[in-house]
Structure 1
């Protein structure tokens, strides 16, 4: 009975839009992981492989499985009222810290980073789930301080609350997710009524300090210390001039720009993108999947994808405005802040106007942890929206 009443109050515009994005992503992943026909197969097998490459489809099948798992978890998140979550906030925060610390000691290393934990046959990225936990726990933290975020002294506890888990993520190292934490923090603090001038001043001042630090680092090589690895510094700056190292750090950006630019108005067609199909485009099914959209579906395809994301963000903002309490508003604000940052950075890095940080495109990039995290985020929005008014029995 309760579930039926909740089901009637869901935001179906949001749900259907998310499903459309996922459907588009599965088609794009199929193309991004498409490989040539294996040798030594019969004529009938060649025809089969030409239409549907079974090896390549394994990525699509895995992503579909992760999506179904995400939908099930999303339904579970919707069912348990968000109003009861504050009582578990402290335990969740401690669990989050322990989970991130575990990565340092028992995590798997890949591509120069130690970010993953093997759980049976699955490999999970705890920092993805940490985003959701920090949204829930920080929403509770700020809800108890509504109207009390007016001075630097008031801001310090909030910075410390976010800073400790963010430091653990930086140690992996995972600069991209650390920046997501900052976006979540500032977005939620703004919605919690933090002094906007002070908040803007801190963001602007922090940006100037960061640029100044990088400038001093490059002007005095070897003399100025910076809390980043060399490859992270290169990623943060190479987008300004990728041809400075066209076969190294700038390669990703250059190939991505070529792919998107060659797509034209309507694109080259699915499975027909040369940069994608010939593997010139790196990480085409994960970080640079938007480049595949640009090459094979053209300007029209990219506008469609961005329009769908706009609807998701708009519905998230609407849900935040309709929430019946501060905690619900902050939950929705945290989810929107996370998604907006992911979208802006991922799309921005593919066109060469943002640093390459390795952030996936929500619901679009291949990856189980990311998909489940984003489905939980949608579950949070639906939970808040379905309870915007008291359920009557």
Structure 2
């Protein structure tokens, strides 16, 4: 197996200072908003700092590993992730849904692994294949994407399944898959919609129906979206001020420190605050795209591009969810919402991007 040229340069840390700096600013601002969203809970903020520190450690490790490592281990990482998803169905824990594995010392969500493992596996499959992909390779990649996505759907975890599928599909898109196959796949999805709908849990169906008409059940399923819209709207241009938001303080806003933290930010910092945060996100996306654009290796470009897209989908789904443009699916605001699993996944992804970029001149 070709492992590629060995990089002997005396560089211990392979960081892009611009991208790293933007990520640190984003995480710092996130802690500021989290402190307010949690009603001044220093314990919650310190726990988030520990989680971000763990994620940063993963970023450091991921940035040191060469592309040959990821190509070689992609099948094993993917297979291990699928095995863990099966274990979740058998032994998983959680409130209302089996999404976590509890092994005593730690409790983790295996589906997070697949957000990187799926695009990693698809990119590994395609990197030595003729591009654009043949129908045979397209079908193989569809299976690689569909198996873990299906296992996550039945947990049930619709939000994570969308992110996992999006990462794999993006690799196919970057590989130049023919549009007629994409349209054929979309047509198949539409045709399967009645079957998918029948398999959804009642709360998932209610989320979709509530998204279409939240006022139909304002004190029940529509409560989250309605209160989120109120928080977003009352912020105005400049907001009420830090720690002055009423929706989270009076406990009208659900999950203010996780899924709906953007609504807290909007109420306290207003349109200008949200605009500033979005500008920071755009800067991160643009810098990451610049790094990916300078990679010469097919595998690196496919994997790096899909990981950038993963970050974008996180942002798109959460912002759409909070503003009522998308159904509530439980996707956190990237590197701002409270939680360790999504932060670890995204920071690892950025570590991979920086590591691949730092070795771009040594790739074939």
Bin the TM-score by the shorter chain: over 0.9
Given the two structures, how large is their TM-score scaled by the length of structure 1?
0.86
- Other structure's SS at 2:69 match: helix
- Residue aligning to 1:195: 178
- Structure 2 counterparts to residues 141-160 of structure 1, below 5 A: 141-151=125-135, 153-160=136-143
- Give the Å deviation of 1:321: 1.4
Q: d(CA) in 2 for partners of 1:14 and 1:303? A: 19
CA–CA separation in structure 1 for the residues paired with 2:278 and 2:8: 35
- Counterpart of 2:50 in structure 1 is 65
Aligned ranges 1:142-291 → 2 under 5 Å: 142-151=126-135, 153-199=136-182, 201-202=183-184, 204-206=186-188, 208-209=190-191, 213=194, 226-291=198-263
RMSD: 2.1
Aligned-partner Cα distance in 2 for 1:2–1:297: 48
Aligned counterparts of 2:189 and 2:88: Cα–Cα separation in 1: 29
Scaled by the length of structure 2, the TM-score of the pair is: 0.92
Shift of 1:26: 0.4
Q: Is 1:14 aligned with 2:39?
A: no
The unaligned stretches of length 5 or more in structure 1 are 35-52, 218-224
Q: Deviations over 1:147-186 (max 9, x none)?
A: 15244x4421111111111111112111111111221122
1:336 corresponds in structure 2 to: 308
Distance (Å, rounded) in 1 between the aligned partners of 2:185 and 2:12: 39
For residues 382 and 178 of structure 1, do their structure 2 counterparts lie closer, same or farther at Cα, with a shift above 3 Å needed?
Answer: same
CA-to-aligned-CA distance 1:247-268 (integer Å, 9 cap, x gap): 1111110000000000011111
Quote how far apart the aligned CAs of 1:236 are.
Answer: 2.2
Distance in 2 (CA, whole Å) between partners of 1:132 and 1:383 is 15
Change (3 A) 1:266 1:88: same
User: Which of 5, 14, 23 in structure 1 is aligned with 2:11?
Assistant: 5
CA distance in 1, matches of 2:106, 2:74: 27
Preserved contact between residue 107 and residue 117 of structure 1 (Cα < 8 Å): yes
Structure 1 pair 325–182 and aligned structure 2 pair: CA distance change class (3 A): same
Partner residue in 2 for 1:116: 100
Given that residues 36 and 243 in structure 2 are in contact (C-alpha distance below 8 angstroms), is that contact kept between their aligned partners in structure 1? yes
Note if 1:88 corresponds to 2:66.
no
Residues in 2 aligned to 1:80 and 1:295: alpha-carbon distance in whole angstroms: 42
For residues 290-305 of structure 1, the aligned pairs below 5 Å read: 290-305=262-277
What is the DSSP-based 3-state SS (H/G/I as helix, E as strand, rest coil) of the residue aligned with 2:240?
coil
SS of alignment partner, residue 93 of structure 1: helix
Is the aligned partner of 1:307 residue 2:253? no
Q: Mark the CA change 1:309 to 1:3 in structure 2 (over 3 Å): closer, same or farther.
A: farther
Measured in 1, the distance between the counterparts of 2:184 and 2:163 equals 17
CA distance in 1, matches of 2:88, 2:68: 31
1:12-66 Cα distance to aligned partner (Å, 9 max, x none)? 22111111111111011111111xxxxxxxxxxxxxxxxxx5xx11110000001
Once the two structures are overlaid, the 10-residue window that deviates more, 201-210 or 128-137, is 201-210
CA gap 1:154/1:3 in 2 versus in 1, 3 angstroms: closer
Alpha-carbon offset, residue 82 of structure 1? 2.1
Runs of 5+ in structure 2 lacking a partner?
Answer: 1-6
Contact kept, 8 Å, 1:148 with 1:154, in 2: the verdict is no
Asked if the contact 2:132/2:178 (under 8 Å) is kept, the reply is: no
Query: 1 CA distance for matches of 2:10 and 2:277?
Result: 32
* Residue among 98, 103, 124 paired with 2:83: 98
* Aligned equivalents of 2:171, 2:61: Cα separation in 1: 24
Secondary structure at the residue paired with 2:94?
strand
Q: C-alpha separation between the residues in 2 aligned to 1:227 and 1:183? A: 21
